[in-house]
Structure 1
Amino acid sequence: MDDYRLGPEDYLEFDPKQARIGQLLFYDKILSGNRNISCGTCHHHDHAGGDGVSLGIGEGGSGVGPDRTPGTGSDRIAKRVPRNAPTLWNLGHKDIHLLFHDGRLSVDDIYGNGFNSPAQEWLPQGLDNILAAQALFPMTAQFEMAGNPKENEVSGAVHDRIDNAWPIIAKRVRIIPEYGEMFVEAFDDVETSEDVTIVHIGNALGAFMGSEWQSHDSPWDAYLTDGTPLPEAAERGREVFFGKGECSSCHSGPLFTDQEFHALSLPAFGPGRTRQWDPMPRDVGRMAESNRLEDAYRFRTPSLRNVALTAPYGHNGAYPTLRGILEHHRDPLVVKATWTKDTAKLPEAPWLAAIDFVIQSDSREMERQRRALDLPGLPLTDADLDDLEAFLHALTGKTADTRPLGRPDRVPSGLPVD
C-alpha cells in the first residue's frame, strides 16, 4: 500500500505570498468579462471546491451552489455549463499531468510553452505548473466567465483569438493599487505594477489552488501511516475496493486515479460540449481532444480523495449520491435505464427545458453511448455497496472543511464576493 501514501512532500512548492494574491483573485469577479462571476463562484469553499449541482450556472447567474439562479431578462443564461465542476483537491500533487474531464490540458512541450492546450502556441510561456495554465481558460470561456460577444471587451477579444483577452484582464488587475503592490512584493520579476501579466495572475491562482486544497489526513491516511484500524464497515469496504469490486484498477495511487479515460455510459443530458462540425448536444469526451474514434465518450478518472464531499458525481453530475454512482458501477446499463430526469440536480431554468434532455430522444446516439462502456458490471451485493460507501467516507480528510486561507471577506476590486 506504499503506492497509496500521500504527504506534504508529494506536492509542488508554492509561494505563500503568491498564494495570498491567488486567494483574492480566485474570488474576484474582476477576472470575468462582465465582472459578475469569479472562479470561486463555481469552486466555492462552502461546497468543498465545487458548486453542488450537476451542471452549473456560469456567467449571467446569481448566487452560489444549489441556490444559484440563472438570471433574468437580457442577463439570463443561454446555456448551462456543459460539465460538472471538477474537484480541486490535491491538484498541486507532483504527478498531476493532465486536467479537465477530457484531458485537453496536459504537460507537454509540443508548442514550446510546456503544455498541450486549447490555446496551442498562443498560451504564454512562464507558467509555473499545470494549475497555473488551467486557471487561464475559464476566463476565456463564453458561458463560464467571459460572457457573450459584444457584451464586453474580453469576450470580443476571445472571439478574435484566445490570447487577445489575457492582456485586457491583466491590465484590469494591475491598475488596482492593492494588487500592484502585492505583485511587486511576491514576484521577483515584477518591479512595478506595469510588469504584471496574465502569467503572474495564472501563477498566483495556481499557487492558491495548489496549496489551499491539499488533503492527506483522512482515516485512510492514518491507516497507512501508523496502522490505525478503519471502522469495521470501512475495512470491509477496503477489501471490496481492492478485491472483487476491482475499483483500484482505475482508482489507483495516492490520489485514487490512474489519470486515464474510461467510458461509464452515464445518463446523457445537458447542452453537450458541441464541436465545430458537430452541433448535436452531446459530449464525446476525450475524443474531442484526441479526434480518435476509440476515445468517444471516455472521460478522465476522478480522484476519490474527499469524494464524499463533492457530489454530484460523473462528468455531468448525473448521480447526486455516492450510492447512486456506486450502483451505476455495479450494473451500469440496468441502473441507467431506471434513471429519471429529476435525479439530475439542475437549477430551474424553464427556457432551457427543451434542451436539457433533448439528446435522449436520439435513439441512435443513445445506442452509441450505451455501447461505449468500460464497466464490466460486478457481482456485488447491497451490503458490499454499503461497505464501499463507508470506505469512500474514510477518504475524507479530518481538516477538509478547515482550509489555510478560505474565502476572503473582500477583494481589492471592491466587487462583491460570492
Structure 2
Amino acid sequence: MADDLPRPLGANDFIAADPAQAKLGQLLFYDPILSGNRNIACSTCHHPDLGTGDGLSLGIGEGGVGLGPERTAGTGDDRIHKRIPRNAPGLWNLGAKDLSVMFHDGRLSVADTYENGFNSPAEEWLPDGLDNLLAVQAIFPLVAQFEMAGNPKENEVAGAVHNRIDYAWPILTDRVRHIPAYAEAFAAAYPHISGADDIAIADIANALSAFMIFEWTSYDSPFDAYLAGDRAALSAREQNGMEVFFGVGGCVACHSGPLLSDQNFHAIGLPPFGPGRTRRFDPMVRDVGHMGESDDLADAYAFRTPMLRNVDLTTPYGHNGAYPTLEGIVRHHLDPVAGLESWTPDTAALPDVPWLEHIDFMVWQDPRELARQRAAVTLAPTALSDEDVSALVAFLGALTGGASTEGVLGVPSQVPSGLPVDQGLLR
C-alpha cells in the first residue's frame, strides 16, 4: 500500500494569492451586487458555516430566502422557477496548480479549444485577462439564470444573458465601478488599475479567485500529517480505513494522486432527481453528465471525481447530493445498482417547493431512462465488511483539516454596496 500513497501536498502545489486582492475578493464574494436582482451572493450557496456548500441536495438559487437548510423557495412573483440542477460543491483547494477541470460535468477545462486557454461555456466570448481556471469558473454563476442572474425581463443582467452570455458581464462590472470603495480597493490591489474605468469583469473574477484560494486552501489534515511522516497522526482505526481506501476498497482507482482525484469522469449510478441539466434537445427531465459536454456516448451519466480534503464538512454527497452521510455514499459506491434500487426520495435534502414537486422525481416514471442509467454504471460491486466500511468512513473523516477549515478573513460584517450579508447559521 505504501507505493499507492500520494506525496504530501504543500504550498507550492497552489496558486499564490495576494492578500490585498483576496480581501477585495472577500467583499465581492459576500456582496449581492453581483446578482441580477441584487438578492443573492456567491456565499449564499457556498457558505463557510456549511463547509463552503449549502447543505442541500439541490440548491435554492435566485428568488429564495434564507441560508442553507433553512432557505425557502420564495413567494409570489419572486419565488424560484427551478431548483438548481446540481449540488453546490465545496470550494476547498480549487487553487491547486494541477487542477485542470471544473464543474460536475467538466464543461470547464484547461484547453485551447477556442484559442483562449480554456474550453468553457463562453466559448470564444470568454473575457480576456482571467488569471486561472478558478477565475474563469467564478464568472459563470453570475450569468446563470436560476443561480444568480434571474429571469428574463426581471433585470438588465438576465436580459443581456438571454441575448449572449458575454453581454451581461459589462453590466455587472459597471455596478462595481460605480461604488467608490470598490474602485479604490481595485486601484490599490492591482497595478494596472488607476481608476474605476479600468476595472473589467476579469479583475472581478481574479479577485474572487484570490479570495477562494487564500481562504480555502487546506492540507493540514491528520492524513496530510501522516504523509509528512507523523505516523501517530492517524488512529489505528483511521489507518485501517486508509488501508481499505488504498487497498481492497479500490477507492484509489479514481481518488488518486495528491488531490485524491483523477479529474476524470465515472458513471456510478447515483439516484436521479430534480430538473436535471437538460440539453436543448433533450425530450425529458434527465442529466447525462459529461456526455453533455463531450457528445460521446461513452461519457453518458459520468461525473467528475471530486477531491476529498474536508469531505466530512461538505454534506450531502454526489453530483446531486443524493446521500446525506459519508457512509451512505460509500455504500453506494460498493454496489451502485443496489444503491440505486434501494434509495428512497426522503433521503434527499430538498426544501419544500410545492409548485415544483411534479418535476422532482419525474425521471423515476421513465423506466427506459432508468435502465440506461443502470446500464452505464462502470463500478463493479465490491464486498466490504461493516467493520471495513466503518474504518473507511473514519479515514475520510481524517481528511478534515485543522486551522485551515476556520478560514482566514471570515465573513465581513458589511460590504461596499450596503446590501445585506449572509452572516451564517452560527452568527
Tell me if 1:46 matches 2:49. Answer: yes
Cα pair 2:5 2:246 within 8 Å, conserved: no
Aligned to 2:277: 273
**Aligned with 1:26 (options 25, 29, 37):** 29
How many Å separate the matches in 2 of 1:161 and 1:379? 50
- Structure 2 counterpart of 1:41, one-letter code: T
Tell me if 1:73 matches 2:79. Answer: no
How many Å separate the matches in 2 of 1:159 and 1:236? 53
**Aligned with 1:317 (options 321, 339, 352):** 321
Q: Secondary structure at the match of 1:71?
A: coil
- Structure 2 counterpart of 1:269, one-letter code: F
- Structure 2 counterpart of 1:185, one-letter code: A
Aligned to 1:190: 193
Aligned to 2:114: 111
Residue 150 (structure 1) shift: 0.4
Residue 279 (structure 1) shift: 3.8
Aligned to 2:126: 123
Name which of structure 1's ranges 394-403 and 129-138 shifts more when overlaid on structure 2: 394-403
- Structure 1 counterpart of 2:341, one-letter code: A
Q: Where do 1:52-63 residues align within 5 Å?
A: 52-63=55-66
How many Å separate the matches in 2 of 1:279 and 1:255? 37
How many Å separate the matches in 1 of 2:295 and 2:5? 37
**Aligned with 1:243 (options 243, 247, 256):** 247
Tell me if 1:376 matches 2:380. Answer: yes
Residue 374 (structure 1) shift: 1.4
How many Å separate the matches in 1 of 2:203 and 2:289? 31
Q: Where do 1:335-374 residues align within 5 Å?
A: 335-374=339-378
Residue 158 (structure 1) shift: 0.3
- Residues 110 and 66 of structure 1: is their aligned pair in 2 closer, same or farther, counting only changes over 3 Å? same
How many Å separate the matches in 1 of 2:231 and 2:129? 43
Cα pair 1:4 1:252 within 8 Å, conserved: no
How many Å separate the matches in 2 of 1:304 and 1:296? 23
How many Å separate the matches in 2 of 1:408 and 1:317? 28
How many Å separate the matches in 1 of 2:230 and 2:49? 32
Residue 108 (structure 1) shift: 1.3
Residue 226 (structure 1) shift: 2.5
Tell me if 1:328 matches 2:332. Answer: yes
- Residues 263 and 2 of structure 1: is their aligned pair in 2 closer, same or farther, counting only changes over 3 Å? closer
Aligned to 1:220: 223
The percentage of aligned residue pairs carrying the same residue is: 62
Residue 227 (structure 1) shift: 2.4
Residue 2 (structure 1) shift: 6.5
**Aligned with 1:286 (options 266, 284, 290):** 290
Tell me if 1:85 matches 2:92. Answer: no
How many Å separate the matches in 2 of 1:32 and 1:228? 47
Cα pair 1:268 1:359 within 8 Å, conserved: yes
Aligned to 2:415: 411
Query: TM-score, normalization: structure 1?
Result: 0.99
How many Å separate the matches in 2 of 1:169 and 1:394? 41
Cα pair 2:216 2:405 within 8 Å, conserved: no
Q: Secondary structure at the match of 1:3?
A: coil
- Consecutive unaligned residues of structure 2, counting only runs of 5 or more, are 423-427
Query: TM-score, normalization: structure 2?
Result: 0.97
**Aligned with 1:95 (options 91, 94, 98):** 98
Aligned to 1:155: 158
Q: Secondary structure at the match of 2:417?
A: coil
Aligned to 1:298: 302
Structure 1: which 4+ aligned runs deviate by more than 6 Å? none
Residue 30 (structure 1) shift: 0.3
How many Å separate the matches in 1 of 2:113 and 2:13? 26
How many Å separate the matches in 2 of 1:279 and 1:347? 26
Residue 400 (structure 1) shift: 4.1
- Structure 2 counterpart of 1:46, one-letter code: D
Aligned to 2:20: 17
Aligned to 2:390: 386
How many Å separate the matches in 2 of 1:156 and 1:141? 12
Name which of structure 1's ranges 236-245 and 4-13 shifts more when overlaid on structure 2: 4-13
Residue 105 (structure 1) shift: 0.6
How many Å separate the matches in 2 of 1:116 and 1:335? 34
Residue 399 (structure 1) shift: 1.8
Aligned CA RMSD, in angstroms, stands at: 0.9
Q: Secondary structure at the match of 1:4?
A: coil
How many Å separate the matches in 2 of 1:244 and 1:107? 33
Q: Secondary structure at the match of 1:266?
A: coil
- Consecutive unaligned residues of structure 1, counting only runs of 5 or more, are none
Give a deviation string over 1:126-168, Cα, whole Å, max 9, x none.
1000011001000110000000000000000000000000000
Aligned to 2:425: none
Aligned to 1:3: 6
Residue 110 (structure 1) shift: 2.2
